[in-house]
């Protein structure tokens, strides 16, 4: 039987609630024992709702609570560094929500603080932990899709729910830092965390909302082996929260839809309003609810991995180093969106492979020529496209299949 953990929860907002719901859900024995908010009333109400014995408006007091074993950071982006540094000082294991920092410099300081304190650190990137993702990543790792060429990850909705997200300074940016961080980590999970991200090309614009940060962006992250990670993010998308991934490999393809189409469709006249799913925009007509939102977003397996890793003295699947890499890629994206050029990913700390060769699946041959493609025609015959090895000329040949 595993050891139950006592937890300090920093933040009583949207994610603090989802995390606590997960931690106190099912028959889990881990418990939040102290909760911090800057708003005393909100902290007290949260503690009452979730049967948490103590609440405080003093962040250091919550972190240093002698009864708590681990600190979970669910605070606005501009408070992540302060909280992580306090946890490092208290020598308490710390789990931080995404993004790790507002930029790479912040993330690096946080990484260095937890590592020099020698404390367990986890990066709470839930979207690489949901069941479909875990199975897909396993398939990719076992070679089912061959070499991964291109990963496309999309997160779009109508915009975040709290004021600080819309303040460039407090959030560290707009849709890229808020949503792109998820997509980038999804791309890394499929392409391989060992493969170095080398450069990015990014478009960003403010198309809809009266805000100084970008509310739309598309970015390409080129990895050393030639694979491309593509993210698409929007705070102006109408119709719910669209979370989709596509993975293309030399031997196969995966399409994932995590939220807006999970196989659950419901019609209602809308006479009685009811919660449908995160960022759902309508409460009537045909709706697309989500069966178990926590599971669909990966929170329970994420905390299980974190606590199992603590028990077993190993690193979790996602730690502060991963958060740092994501921040470095995002910094390059912001630069590229300004310069309109490919910009290098400047990783001062790189722990992956020194070099990864370019993807080059072994070519097939037919009668001494390179086989480019084979396709069956409606007649039943097979057309082969062949390339001469010396001249590079392409030709076609029909064979009985």
Ligand X SMILES: NC(=O)c1ccc[n+]([C@@H]2O[C@H](COP(=O)([O-])OP(=O)(O)OC[C@H]3O[C@@H](n4cnc5c(N)ncnc54)[C@H](O)[C@@H]3O)[C@@H](O)[C@H]2O)c1
Name the residues that contact ligand X, by CB under 6 A. 11-16, 37-38, 42, 74-77, 79, 97-98, 124, 126, 162, 164
Beta strand 216-223 with 228-234 is: antiparallel
Q: How far is the CB of 201 from ligand X (least distance, A)?
A: 25
Alpha carbon distance 399, 401 (integer Å): 6
Residue among 54, 107, 22 nearest 292 (CA) = 22
Q: Which residue is nearest to ligand X (CB)?
A: 13
Pick 75 or 254: Cβ nearer ligand X: 75
Residue among 86, 20, 83, 76 nearest 52 (CA) = 20
Alpha carbon distance 36, 52 (integer Å): 11
Pick 126 or 224: Cβ nearer ligand X: 126
Q: How far is the CB of 87 from ligand X (least distance, A)?
A: 15
* Residue 368 zone, left/alpha/beta (φ > 0; ψ -120 to 50; rest): left
Pick 11 or 180: Cβ nearer ligand X: 11
Pick 13 or 146: Cβ nearer ligand X: 13
Q: How far is the CB of 198 from ligand X (least distance, A)?
A: 27
Q: How far is the CB of 91 from ligand X (least distance, A)?
A: 23
Alpha carbon distance 188, 146 (integer Å): 16
Secondary element (H or E) of residue 189 = helix 181-191
Helices 80-90 + 104-117 axis angle, to 10: 10
Rg from Cα positions in the chain: 24
Q: How far is the CB of 12 from ligand X (least distance, A)?
A: 4
Q: How far is the CB of 100 from ligand X (least distance, A)?
A: 9
3-state secondary structure of 128: helix
Pick 19 or 190: Cβ nearer ligand X: 19
Pick 48 or 397: Cβ nearer ligand X: 48
């Amino acid at each position: 039987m595993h050891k139950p953990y006592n937890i300090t929860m920093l933040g009583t907002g949207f994610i603090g609630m989802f995390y606590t719901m997960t931690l106190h859900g099912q028959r889990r024995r881990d418990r939040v024992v102290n909760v911090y908010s800057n708003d005393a009333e909100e902290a007290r109400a949260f503690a009452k709702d979730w049967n948490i014995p103590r609440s405080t408006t003093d962040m250091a007091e919550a972190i240093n609570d002698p009864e708590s074993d681990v600190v979970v950071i669910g605070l606005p982006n501009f408070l992540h560094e302060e909280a992580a540094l306090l946890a490092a000082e208290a020598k308490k294991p710390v789990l931080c929500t995404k993004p790790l920092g507002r930029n790479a410099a912040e993330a690096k300081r946080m990484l260095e603080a937890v590592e020099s304190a020698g404390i367990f650190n986890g990066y709470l990137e839930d979207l690489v932990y949901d069941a479909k993702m875990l199975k897909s990543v396993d398939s990719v790792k076992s070679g089912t899709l061959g070499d991964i060429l291109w990963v496309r990850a999309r997160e779009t909705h109508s915009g975040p729910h709290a004021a600080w997200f819309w303040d460039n300074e407090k959030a560290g940016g707009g849709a890229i830092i808020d949503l792109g961080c998820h997509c980038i980590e999804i791309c890394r999970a499929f392409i391989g965390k060992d493969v170095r991200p080398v450069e990015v090309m990014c478009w960003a614009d403010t198309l809809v909302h009266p805000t100084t940060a970008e509310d739309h962006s598309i970015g390409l992250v080129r990895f050393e082996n030639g694979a491309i990670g593509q993210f698409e993010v929007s705070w102006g998308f109408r119709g719910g929260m669209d979370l989709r991934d596509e993975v293309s490999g030399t031997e196969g393809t995966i399409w994932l839809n995590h939220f807006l189409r999970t196989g659950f469709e419901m019609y209602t006249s809308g006479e009685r309003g009811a919660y449908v799913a995160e960022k759902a925009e309508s409460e009537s007509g045909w709706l697309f609810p989500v069966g178990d939102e926590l599971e669909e977003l990966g929170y329970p397996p994420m905390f299980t991995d974190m606590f199992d890793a603590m028990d077993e003295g190993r690193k979790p699947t996602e730690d502060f180093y991963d958060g740092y890499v994501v921040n470095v890629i995002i910094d390059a994206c912001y630069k590229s969106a300004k310069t309109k050029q490919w910009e290098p990913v400047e990783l001062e700390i790189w722990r992956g492979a020194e070099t990864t060769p370019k993807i080059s699946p072994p070519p097939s041959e037919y009668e001494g020529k390179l086989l480019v493609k084979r396709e069956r025609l409606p007649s039943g015959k097979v057309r082969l496209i062949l390339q001469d090895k010396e001249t590079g000329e392409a030709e076609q040949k029909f064979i009985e299949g």
